[in-house]
């Protein structure tokens, strides 16, 4: 099963209580709701989110279980005095070295290697003929003791057949490719999508059903530009952060606001 298959679910499957819980957790994490501050009443939360009292109570129960909220009989709900800190998310800035740093920090909890006929889109990306057999490497990875990502790598058999699964429990696949197999990675293309976790993804990542996840598809190339492997990864949305630095690019034909505004108005 590919990571691409583990997160296809309609958006309206997101439980109402989970939406309420996520918003309140965000307010606590950001400091908008400070330690010992009282939360709005159940009635106020029902009106704000347009949900039933049972939905609000389920959201509050989840926050209590997470150690973020204390419920006081007859008084209401309050932010905990010392809310547990969320583990710092893994950050990416657009450099391939960020991926190297990421895979160096995570711990692999399970490895499965299989040989199967490649999906048409994967074979096309790897420049292989339809019906070609390829190697898939599936891994469940943790960060700071918590589930972080579920990844499936698709590799040509001439490469995948040389990989020892025992090594992948100790070393990242990228390192195995470069240091053990002598294949130097030159670049990678990445596409990302926001998705909702289905039952299998929720189980693998330790999150509630229909929780938000980030799906990443990466196509790696050798130094000579030959497709090397495709990686599908599902990341917990609360543990993943993507940073992009935007620079102003100027040429002789410099951007002019007045010109472009006028052009749009004349359309």
Does the domain formed by 11-79 have CATH 1.10.10.10?
yes
Q: Where in the chain do CATH 3.40.1410.10 domains reside? A: 90-242
229, pLDDT greater than 80 = yes
**What does the pLDDT read at residue 89?**
54
**What does the pLDDT read at residue 98?**
56
Q: Read off the pLDDT of residues 18-52 as tens digits, 9 standing for 90 and up.
A: 889 888 988 888 788 999 999 999 999 999 999 99
167 Cβ neighbours under 8 A, 6+ residues apart: 176, 180
Q: Where in the chain do CATH 1.10.10.10 domains reside? A: 11-79
Q: Read off the pLDDT of residues 82-130 as tens digits, 9 standing for 90 and up.
A: 887 665 555 555 555 555 556 667 788 899 999 999 999 999 999 999 9
60, pLDDT greater than 80 = yes
| Contact yes or no for 150/108 (Cβ under 8 A) | no
% pLDDT > 70, the chain: 79
Query: What architecture does CATH give domain 90-242?
Result: 3-Layer(aba) Sandwich (3.40)
- Look over the chain and give the mean of its residue pLDDT values, rounded to a whole number: 83
Alpha helices in the chain (DSSP H): 16-30, 42-49, 53-65, 96-105, 120-125, 157-160, 165-168, 173-175, 199-205, 257-265
% pLDDT > 90, the chain: 51
Q: Using CA atoms of 82, 83, 84, 89 in order, give the dihedral in degrees to the nearest 10.
A: -130
Q: Give the predicted TM-score (pTM) of the model.
A: 0.67
Nearest-CA neighbor of 107 among 163, 181, 180, 168? 168
């Amino acid at each position: 099963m590919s990571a691409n298959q583990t997160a296809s679910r309609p958006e309206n499957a997101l439980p109402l209580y989970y939406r309420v819980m996520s918003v309140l957790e965000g307010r606590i994490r950001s400091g908008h709701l400070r330690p010992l501050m009282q939360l709005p009443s159940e009635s106020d939360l029902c009106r704000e989110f347009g949900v039933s009292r049972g939905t609000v109570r389920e959201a509050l129960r989840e926050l209590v279980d997470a150690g973020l909220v204390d419920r006081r009989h007859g008084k209401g709900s309050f932010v905990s005095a010392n809310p547990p800190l969320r583990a710092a998310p893994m950050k990416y800035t657009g450099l391939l070295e960020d991926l190297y740093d990421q895979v160096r920090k995570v711990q692999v909890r399970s490895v499965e290697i299989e040989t199967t006929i490649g999906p048409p889109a994967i074979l096309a990306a790897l420049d292989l003929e339809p019906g070609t057999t390829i190697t898939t490497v599936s891994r469940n990875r943790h960060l700071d003791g918590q589930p972080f990502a579920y990844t499936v790598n698709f590799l040509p058999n001439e490469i995948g057949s040389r990989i020892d699964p025992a090594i992948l429990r100790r070393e990242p696949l990228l390192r195995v490719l470069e240091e053990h197999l002598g294949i130097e990675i030159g670049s990678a293309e990445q596409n990302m999508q926001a998705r909702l976790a289905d039952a299998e993804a929720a189980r693998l990542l330790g999150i509630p059903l229909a929780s938000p996840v980030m799906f990443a598809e990466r196509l790696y190339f050798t130094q000579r530009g030959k497709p090397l492997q495709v990686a599908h990864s599902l990341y917990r949305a609360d543990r993943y952060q993507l940073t992009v630095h935007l620079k102003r690019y100027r040429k002789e034909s410099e951007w002019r606001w007045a010109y472009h505004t006028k052009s749009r108005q004349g359309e």
